[in-house]
Amino acid sequence: MDRQKLIMLPGPTNVSERVMRAMLNPIINHRGDEFRDLYKGVLDKTKRFFQTQGEVVILSSSGTGGVEAAVWNLIRPGDVAVVPVFGEFSMRLAETVELAGGKVVRVASDFGKIPTIDQLKLAMEQQEKVKALFLVHNETSTGVAVPYVEEATKIARDHGAFVVIDAISSLGGYAIPVDRWGVDMCITGSQKCVAAPPGLALLSVSERVAEYLKDSPPKTRYFDLPRYLEYGAKGQTPFTPALPLYYALDEALEELLEEGLEKRVERHNRMSVGIYDGLAKLGLGAVAEKSVRSKTVVASYYPQGVDDSKFRKELAQDKGVVIAGGFGPFAGKVFRVGCMGQINEAYVETTLRAIGETLTAFGN
């Protein structure tokens, strides 16, 4: 086995030894008392993390499963959904709504930027009836974050629409107080700012979504949320849970709550400033303008002439630091550094030094 590298990807991210060890707990009966206690604890901690008194569901799936669940539970053929599209993940989200038979009103901007709140407002106003707003909070593909989640939620609610926030790469690095802001469904993934291994999607379900689903059951089996809610009340999942991951998530959430959400958010903020400033000192410019730059995913341009895949390979092999490449129009021109979960001064320093030394080795 390879030695453990420093995983500075925008997910999966570094996982503490304590969380890794939790996965060695015994396999238990997922219909028995032990799992009930474990799952109830996980649900309770997840509610505190999402700042909700409503329901939450943990799916044995990656984040995409969480998005799929939100879409297929809310959208019925012919429903209109407003979807800001400004990168790979928001593009996929819009396509997922179409796969479910929805009509998508795309509110687009160039990649690396975000649509304005006025564009969003206008798009809502131009529709007779909008079933839901699906908003990616943090576009992992370009390193931009939407600063107007609360305002967008209010606008959508004023139009009688449900509000779904894909906070897969941001919740924990940012706080999204689901109840206070009126978010109907918020989704995150275990492998990002929660700092657990990949494989679980966490989502909140508001009272009004739960009510809606009573009269309008979704046409999906694995992502049938009413069934998850019914089983969740008994401390069970409808289908076999990925047990070791639930142990890990329980421990990772415990770590998060021990630190405190506020402190964790502040740490992500501080560390991201360190990364942006450190890259600027190396002469590397961020893709995002300062007002929308993400605190959890830093996307930065390469100096001219640096070969992306060779650079990242050398960084990983020689320095043991793993970062990601660019997406779509940024492929080959941009690298992305995750600033998530366990992120600390030592990781930031090691990463910046490794990038600087490797650039020098590449003649920059």
Ligand X SMILES: Cc1ncc(COP(=O)(O)O)c(C=O)c1O
Q: Which residues bind ligand X (CB under 6 A)?
A: 11, 62-64, 67, 89, 136, 138, 140, 166, 168-169, 189
Taking the complex as a whole, the smallest distance from the CB of residue 136 to ligand X amounts, in Å, to: 5
Q: Indicate the residue among 140 and 206 with the shorter CB distance to ligand X.
A: 140
Taking the complex as a whole, the smallest distance from the CB of residue 352 to ligand X amounts, in Å, to: 23
Tokens of 330: 């940024």
What whole-number distance in Å separates Cα of residue 298 and Cα of residue 10?
8
Q: Indicate the residue among 140 and 236 with the shorter CB distance to ligand X.
A: 140
Q: Indicate the residue among 11 and 278 with the shorter CB distance to ligand X.
A: 11
The alpha-helical segments, DSSP class H, found in 163-281 are 178-181, 207-215, 225-232, 243-259, 261-281
Residue with smallest beta-carbon separation from ligand X: 63
What whole-number distance in Å separates Cα of residue 100 and Cα of residue 223?
13
What whole-number distance in Å separates Cα of residue 152 and Cα of residue 163?
9
Q: Indicate the residue among 142 and 358 with the shorter CB distance to ligand X.
A: 142
Taking the complex as a whole, the smallest distance from the CB of residue 228 to ligand X amounts, in Å, to: 18
Return the amino acid letter for 159. H
Q: Indicate the residue among 268 and 319 with the shorter CB distance to ligand X.
A: 268
Dump strand ranges (E) for 17-159: 55-59, 80-85, 103-108, 132-136, 138-139, 144-145
Taking the complex as a whole, the smallest distance from the CB of residue 308 to ligand X amounts, in Å, to: 18
Taking the complex as a whole, the smallest distance from the CB of residue 55 to ligand X amounts, in Å, to: 21
What whole-number distance in Å separates Cα of residue 162 and Cα of residue 206?
10
The DSSP-derived string for 98-114 is HHTTPEEEEEE--BTB-
